[in-house]
Structure 1
Amino acid sequence: MSRIHAVAGGDVILPCFLKPTMNAASHTVEWLRPDLKPKEAHCYRDHRDSEEDQNPSYKGRTSLFKEELKNGNVSLKLTGVTLSDAGNYTCFIPTMSRTQRPVVQLLVDQKSHSSLPRQPPRASPRSLPVLSIEGTNGSGLVLRCESEGWYPEPELEWFDNNGAILPATGPTETKTDTKGFYTVRRNVTIQQTDNNWFTCRVQQQNITRTKHIRIPDDVFPKPCQSYWTAGLCLAVGAAVGAVVGAAVATPMGYVVGNRRTKRQCVTGETVDPENLSVPLKGNSSGELN
């Protein structure tokens, strides 16, 4: 159970995120107050809000973040908070397992914020994630997502085009500045897919920042086939070692050819290794320029 503080007369967000992440836009979402009759504080059904069974005390004061339903964010916004709103709220998706019923306890203070957790002295806009290519890992690319200006510490996740969470290559890196705001960073290794769309999402209880990117096919490392050819040439050169000049020239040719081939294998003939850490620049559709 999570605990949320609010002040009478203000607004509050009751957080609820589906795990694993799934698109909730086509599902029924219910927020319930079990101690009330009717117990429904809010209902989203058939792609719209429904007031049919809603408790009259909540009419016109509740809403979901419709644009975030596709990301599994089913948090409830409650406006004009009253003292009677205090209580336990259950986030319920009927089509999901009945064991997954997150409960949020809302505590309402009459006048002051004295019971609220200490916040940084000044608010800061949370930055959109910045995506960059950090290098290669076998046949894959290492992508980095970084976002700054958060408080409290947010969650950062990478997703593929199907909404599946991508495993990180290590723990999420976090640091704080002198004002107490967090910067978060996470790397993942991606493999080439049918469309090469990937998404980074940074979120708190009621704030989400998302960045999408498509990686062109020719940016991925290509399989290197030239080492076998170079090895064969070396063997043939050794077989005719009776000619000293040829025996010397062949290994030299191999070394040069091998070095050239190695560069092509690592870079795929499309990415300069010196530029792999430069942030990706995307257009409005998220594709690379």
Structure 2
Amino acid sequence: MKTFPTSAAWCLGILFISVSLITTGSSEVQVVGPADPVVALAGDDVILPCSLKPSVSAENMVVRWTRLNLKAGNVHLYRSGRDSNVEQVPSYRGRTSMFNEELKNGNVSLKLTRVTLSDAGSYRCFIPTLTSQVKETTVQLLVGAVSQPVISIDGTKGWGVVLKCESGGWFPEPEMEWLDSSGTILPADGPPERHRDSECLYSVRRHVTVDQTDTNRFTCRVHQKEINHLKETEIHVPSEVFIG
């Protein structure tokens, strides 16, 4: 009796036997937000990002935006296919909206207009109707205030000229420094003078004594690292102001 080699039998059998492997898998829809804080300046409009991943329509879901430090009330509520002001915190009325045309793509971000310093904080994007475990995310909002520094000539000292730089309306508290025309930081006449007003805005003032140079140009720089904002003002001191 003639027999087939094992390898031949396997090849012959594969022609008649069909093996079907069915693999089922699904990605759980999650609510995701930005990894870094969102930064805005007082008076600006800002978007607090929040979305569903993988992208699925949120048109028939309930989307609730709240503040973590507020015990009750909504910042914004979307349900039954429309925005709702039910239990909305009064200070947010007329200032919040969602991108309704983007809901079908899973975009449930919140737009907040005319941002104020008191808006700073942690916001919760929550979708209670979602069946997955990750139904919410937190978005941190940092709000700052800035203004242009003002330079003036404040007299003379020896052979040099005393310059004064002032800038108010900052938040959080900024740093101030003087630079020459090449960008080198100049030693100031003591530490900056700081003041915080009743609205929690900071003013800062700093003096520097400069000698005559080829350009006689000097810059006052005010910067706030936390909100990553910087303002500069340059002054040209006429040669005749310097003594001698």
TM-score (norm 2): 0.45
Bigger proportion of residues as helix: 1
TM-score of the pair, normalised by structure 1: 0.38
Of the two, which has the highest radius of gyration? 2
